[in-house]
Amino acid sequence: MKAIVITRPGGPEVLQLEEVEDPLVGDDELLIGVHATSLNRADTFQRKGSYPPPKGASPYLGLECSGTVLSLGKNVSSWKIGDQVCALLAGGGYAEKVAVPVGQVLPVPAGVSLTDAASFPEVACTVWSTVFMMSRLSQGETLLVHGGSSGIGTFAIQIAKYRGSRVFVTAGSEEKLAFCKSIGADVGINYKTEDFVARVKEETGGQGVDVILDCMGASYYQRNLDSLNFDGRLFIIGFQGGVSTQADLRPLLAKRLTVQGAGLRNRSLENKAVIVSEVEKNVWPAIAEGKVKPVVYKSFPLSEAAEAHQLMESSQHIGKILLLP
């Protein structure tokens, strides 16, 4: 099969389409013929050499895909050859075929094309597991999403609105904020020109928000604590603003705050299967109703993975970037 290979750690130009061995399919796995895969920022870190795949995972990039079932491991009875599916991957999506544990495979949501289905697994599993399963965002509460125009951001806005929350977002341009509002965000904050703590306080009568989904880490840590309401929950899923900082911890006690963090890729197969099952039960109906829509900015042929990475690193996109083998 053909796959994108990282020829050496570096910039987008190190990504090359090469002929490689087909993946081996385990007893509890499916082989999927990849129709589309989707970029995640983690792919750019793996390309640079700073985010290696988990032990036993595919060496190739790609944390989600959509496609057609080509073959089944001997313990797999829940799918049949020819089924159209999408899947959460620990790697291997930037290829023509990928082997996937059966617990990480989902049906293509009703009303969504096979291509667009590749935009959902990673964002849906990330947002559902963090904002809902762990931070327990509930109807009537407020959510602040940093990077509102990202793949995760555009999904989080829609599912939180669907479940009855008020949604605040930060983004770096008026165009991105306008898009976020068009898909349901209530309050848009331009982080380049505004102090998000002040805006959050102003919009909540001085109280703050209930849950924050944060991809920045260190650079926003203090301001995030200062933006939370009593019993507020901060969930950190990325370190785009660094990994270490000094902070005044008094708000944790004064406001009974919870700070959590998690990744998705390194979780156990059992843990991922629970999340995927919850996503199918809770998120897929919202997609089928048309209340949560795919947000795809651009699709590239697999051979143009380098150009796709350049676009992602420019941060000019809104939503997801796809690769089509």
98 and 121 Cβ atoms separated by less than 8 Å: no
Q: Are residues 139 and 167 in the same domain?
A: yes
The number of beta carbons lying within 10 Å of the beta carbon of residue 200 is 26
Task: Please report the pLDDT score of residue 95 as a whole number.
Answer: 98
Place 130 in a pLDDT band, splitting at 50, 70 and 90. Answer: very high
168 and 200 Cβ atoms separated by less than 8 Å: yes
Separation CA 130–CA 145 (nearest Å)? 12
Task: Please report the pLDDT score of residue 216 as a whole number.
Answer: 98
Note whether residue 145 is domain-resident.
yes
Per-residue HEC secondary structure of 271-298 comes to HHHHHHHHHHHHCHHHHHCCCCCCCEEE
Note whether residue 248 is domain-resident.
yes
306 and 20 Cβ atoms separated by less than 8 Å: no
The number of beta carbons lying within 10 Å of the beta carbon of residue 52 is 11
Q: Are residues 42 and 56 in the same domain?
A: yes
Q: Are residues 143 and 256 in the same domain?
A: yes
| 123-137: average pLDDT | 98
% of the chain beyond a pLDDT of 90 = 100
Q: Which of these three, 212, 235, 261, is where a domain ends? A: 261
Q: Are residues 283 and 165 in the same domain?
A: no
Q: Are residues 152 and 164 in the same domain?
A: yes
Task: Please report the pLDDT score of residue 112 as a whole number.
Answer: 98
Q: Are residues 182 and 196 in the same domain?
A: yes
Can you read off the two tokens belonging to residue 130?
A: 């963090």
Q: Are residues 149 and 62 in the same domain?
A: no
Separation CA 215–CA 126 (nearest Å)? 12
The three-class DSSP label of residue 180 is helix
Q: How far is CA 14 from CA 20, 47, 148, 290, in A?
A: 16, 8, 29, 39
Q: Are residues 146 and 257 in the same domain?
A: yes
| 107-128: average pLDDT | 98
| 263-286: average pLDDT | 98
Task: Please report the pLDDT score of residue 143 as a whole number.
Answer: 99
Structural domain total, the chain: 2
| 213-231: average pLDDT | 98
Task: Please report the pLDDT score of residue 117 as a whole number.
Answer: 98
Q: Are residues 172 and 184 in the same domain?
A: yes
Task: Please report the pLDDT score of residue 239 as a whole number.
Answer: 96
Separation CA 141–CA 135 (nearest Å)? 11
Note whether residue 130 is domain-resident.
no
Residue 26's CATH number:
3.90.180.10
Place 42 in a pLDDT band, splitting at 50, 70 and 90. Answer: very high
Task: Please report the pLDDT score of residue 128 as a whole number.
Answer: 98
Q: Are residues 144 and 256 in the same domain?
A: yes
The phi and psi torsions of 190 (rounded to 5 degrees) equal -85, 110
Q: Which of these three, 211, 229, 261, is where a domain ends? A: 261
The number of beta carbons lying within 10 Å of the beta carbon of residue 157 is 29
Q: Are residues 70 and 184 in the same domain?
A: no
User: Directed axis angle between helix 174-182 and helix 151-162, to 10°?
Assistant: 30
Q: Are residues 242 and 288 in the same domain?
A: no
Among the listed residues 23, 22, 19, the one whose alpha carbon sits nearest the alpha carbon of residue 3: 19
| 296-315: average pLDDT | 98
Residue 202's CATH number:
3.40.50.720
Note whether residue 126 is domain-resident.
no
**What is the span of the domain harbouring residue 202?**
135-261
| 169-193: average pLDDT | 98
pLDDT tens digits, 6-24: 999 999 999 999 999 999 9
Those residues whose C-beta lies under 8 Å from the C-beta of residue 150, and which sit 6 or more positions away, are 41, 215, 319
